[in-house]
Structure 1
């Protein structure tokens, strides 16, 4: 196992660890939603609000993840399912989105709750996925959720072009076989489009997927409550 995790960046405590900074971010999210709800472009809105509040790059990244127009927030919430809705259903899970977010959460990184009730982090995959100390625990948490949900099947979807996607696919399949789980893992060239268009129920916190999918389940929110996970939470509203 690798001695690495997805914890905080140096300087994150200064950006997100004080009441003063969180109050500033909440004000920024309110202003951002005001602009987005009046059809201002996202990047221009983030630049304007970021300059006004003198936000640093990572604060602007958190601001963009947490913000959405009033119409988009309503649309996302109208499609959100309860755990009871998953019984006997097939669930499609946005592999790297869920894996990296939960790895970050378990590593003590700051996690941001946005206006849509979704949780997001500041990590990402930049061409290569590297397994970390918390990867196995994440797979176990997904397995516990799957069994409690009484869903029929769970299909993990990963980005085919990302290096090591084949390796994580094999790790998950091996775990599923060992634990007699009805799981499958698929590699897609355009996973976001695939998830939005081909699945009845999606697990993701990716904003674009949430906007275009049929229905979605807030797995991170569920696990935080159900498993009583410790979380470095920044509530952005």
Structure 2
């Protein structure tokens, strides 16, 4: 599996997300997105309206889209969220690429965005092709430490089978589990989102569709980012 150096910031990210003027515009845009979504606007139409009003670049629009939700979505997600202290002896099913890439981005000092539902999201995308980065090993190790701390009974990673190198990351995680004697399982699925929802277990994901449909969920990335990673690029 070829390795790129990191999954960090793009050239204009400090300008787009670190400039005081843009920070204020993005916060206002997020309030408007929540209002429009709550009023029944489609995500596409709401984003177009907000992006046009605040003259947001496509990367800024993607950030606002990731952070936003309707009041009903926020209510549903909050009602199904479980806390760290209740995980002992439970099974947790992880949205593999979603969690891994977000942790890699955070460790790479890429900008991450705390949504209205308290989930963090980033601007990376595998586009059908996943490559490990310098921070991949540390990201997996963070999950190892979490697994031991939480006293989970079992942890299941689910990855999209169609993404290239999914078989290699599966083998890498299985080797880590074997080395540390962890009760882990790694599964490749044609439809990872559906498999997560159908698992009828507590899931870990920041994908809004998964959170809305899952039986319960745990905010794994927020737990790790806020307790284990010293990130300077949280929006």
| TM-score category, normalised to shorter length | over 0.9
> Which secondary structure does the structure 2 equivalent of 1:110 belong to?
coil
Counting only pairs closer than 5 Å after superposition, residues 64-103 of structure 1 correspond to structure 2 as: 64-103=65-104
**Which residue does the alignment assign to 1:112?**
113
Q: State how far apart, in whole Å, the 1-side matches of 2:125 and 2:51 are.
A: 21
Q: State how far apart, in whole Å, the 2-side matches of 1:56 and 1:109 are.
A: 17
Q: State how far apart, in whole Å, the 1-side matches of 2:177 and 2:141 are.
A: 10
**Which residue does the alignment assign to 1:31?**
32
Q: State how far apart, in whole Å, the 1-side matches of 2:139 and 2:224 are.
A: 10
2:46 is the counterpart of 1:45: yes
Aligned residues: 234
What TM-score, normalized to structure 2? Answer: 0.97
2:180 is the counterpart of 1:172: no
RMSD: 1.0
Q: State how far apart, in whole Å, the 2-side matches of 1:187 and 1:209 are.
A: 17
CA distances 1:54-100 after superposition (whole Å, capped 9, x unpaired): 00000000011111100101111111111111110111000000000
Q: State how far apart, in whole Å, the 2-side matches of 1:140 and 1:101 are.
A: 14
Deviation of the 1:18 alpha carbon? 1.8
**Which residue does the alignment assign to 1:7?**
8
Deviation of the 1:201 alpha carbon? 0.2
Deviation of the 1:4 alpha carbon? 1.2
Q: State how far apart, in whole Å, the 1-side matches of 2:172 and 2:68 are.
A: 34
> Which secondary structure does the structure 2 equivalent of 1:44 belong to?
helix
Q: What are structure 1's unaligned runs of at least 5 residues?
A: none
Asked if structure 1 preserves the Cα contact closer than 8 Å seen for 2:4 and 2:132, the reply is no
2:15 is the counterpart of 1:20: no
> Which secondary structure does the structure 2 equivalent of 1:233 belong to?
coil
2:208 is the counterpart of 1:232: no
Deviation of the 1:228 alpha carbon? 4.3
Consecutive aligned runs of 4 or more in structure 1 exceeding 4 Å deviation: none
Asked if structure 2 preserves the Cα contact closer than 8 Å seen for 1:37 and 1:69, the reply is yes
**Which residue does the alignment assign to 2:198?**
197
Q: State how far apart, in whole Å, the 2-side matches of 1:3 and 1:41 are.
A: 36
Q: State how far apart, in whole Å, the 2-side matches of 1:230 and 1:69 are.
A: 27
Asked if structure 2 preserves the Cα contact closer than 8 Å seen for 1:204 and 1:210, the reply is yes
**Which residue does the alignment assign to 2:128?**
127
What TM-score, normalized to structure 1? Answer: 0.96
Asked if structure 2 preserves the Cα contact closer than 8 Å seen for 1:223 and 1:229, the reply is no
CA distances 1:77-132 after superposition (whole Å, capped 9, x unpaired): 11111111111011100000000000000000000001000000000111111010
Q: State how far apart, in whole Å, the 1-side matches of 2:229 and 2:4 are.
A: 25
